[in-house]
Amino acid sequence: MNRYDEVDFAWGVSTAAYQTEGAYVKDGKGLSIWDAFTGTRGKIRSGQHARVACDFYHRYAQDISILKVLGIPHFRFSISWSRILPEGTGTVNWKGIAFYHKVIDYCLELGITPWITLYHWDLPLALEKKGGWANRDIIHWFEEYVTLCMRTYGSKVKHWIVMNEPMAFTGAGYFLGLHAPGKRGLKYFLPAMHHAALSQAAGIRCIQSFWSDAHLGTTFSASWVEPHTDRDKDIQAAMRVDALLNRAFIEPLMGLGYPLGTLPFLQRLETYVKDGDETALAAPVDFVGLQIYTRELVRYNWLTPFIQASLVPAPKRNVPLTSMQWEVYPQSIYKMLHQFNRYVGVRSIIVTENGAAFPDTIHNGKVADYERCQFIEEYTEQVMRARMEGVPVNGYFVWTLTDNFEWAEGYHPRFGLVHVDFDTQTRTIKQSGYAYSNLIRRYALGETSLAGEQSK
């Protein structure tokens, strides 16, 4: 037993296929909704795309080797649905299948534990042309995809994450139109939300039917929400925003149904609900993944449809900011861990993403990103504070390993522990990469509160 097993805590980094792999039509890969969306004028900052991105498809061994050098023992990455099923269903692309075998095998060879996310937003374009997440048939399409992954990789990989941030990809993609596929309005959002929630549970049951010993979970975006003032209208507005951002997917999964009492507009979901759906929405998981970056302050706004609330932008609040204009608020992760721990049925929590984008520059071959070093140090302190208070948080993954394509923001925000020159694909480990390596080592050697608490 090594020290990581003894403290029962997974230290890692997270990545996503579309944001890193490139090779967008290489070796039989089909197009995804993001391949189409990035080709639409005005959708992505500076007109950028991810056709090459970090070229992880060709440089995976180099990047995984960096994990080994830094002593980061867990690696979360996703499978591109359209790389292994170019049309979303039907014919399998065996070259795509072989690629993920190589990634998994190289991780295992180096003693790095793979954690696979099955869906990280890159829906095959062929399925979107049939309605995508707004089409109820996607439940069966998703089951077919998950089944293929389980039959192919299930004997090698123990840790599985079914979905990445379902509220984000349905809300931004099917209501606001800011992300792929660029749809707008309740007529797209409500069915997409319901079908994603059903698919989430169906995917969980599918994995369990193949591998009863799989370590299985799913991930939710989570932001600590506070009212801007102590006025009742602001307090009620904050409750509605919290219900939408933080409760809308976890509660159906836990068997509690949708938060209709707080969000009456969700009663319109009845149009899409069929007999048996309430039961089908629920499924047991080994862990809940949380992706926590910041907090939001909310005020009442009667002009905002459905929720009568609006966010108070962080830049207007005189608070420290990241390049994404998100507030740096370490207590947010502590408070959200406690909030999710209150759900009956949450046995374990993994922080599957936390990190920060800052304007990194290379000087004399080095990247002195001290703000990110401080960010990780302060947020992990809050994670351990919650753990010592009894919250069953058992892992922390930094977003992300390498600078990458950050969706609608393009390549402007740099979140990586490793700097990437996107013209030359040169990698440079940042100061934060070494700092995170040292942080993991400190916990392993018992030089911090986590190991000390475990030894009591």
**How far are the Cα atoms of 88, 126, 414 from residue 85, in angstroms, in the given order?**
5, 10, 30
Alpha-carbon gap, residue 329 to 326, rounded angstroms: 9
Question: CB-hemisphere CA count at 13 Å for 171?
Answer: 13
Among the listed residues 55, 56, 51, 52, the one whose alpha carbon sits nearest the alpha carbon of residue 31: 51
Residue 50's CB is within 10 A of a number of other CB atoms, namely: 25
Alpha-carbon gap, residue 255 to 280, rounded angstroms: 9
Alpha-carbon gap, residue 154 to 140, rounded angstroms: 20
Residues designated catalytic: 165, 353
- DSSP H or E segment with residue 82: helix 81-84
Beta bridge partners of 91: none
Alpha-carbon gap, residue 196 to 345, rounded angstroms: 21
**How far are the Cα atoms of 68, 250, 310, 334, 399 from residue 391, in angstroms, in the given order?**
29, 17, 31, 10, 22
| Pair of tokens at residue 137 | 């048939």
Strands (E), 19-142: 74-78, 113-119
**Torsion sign over Cα 80, 46, 178, 353:** positive
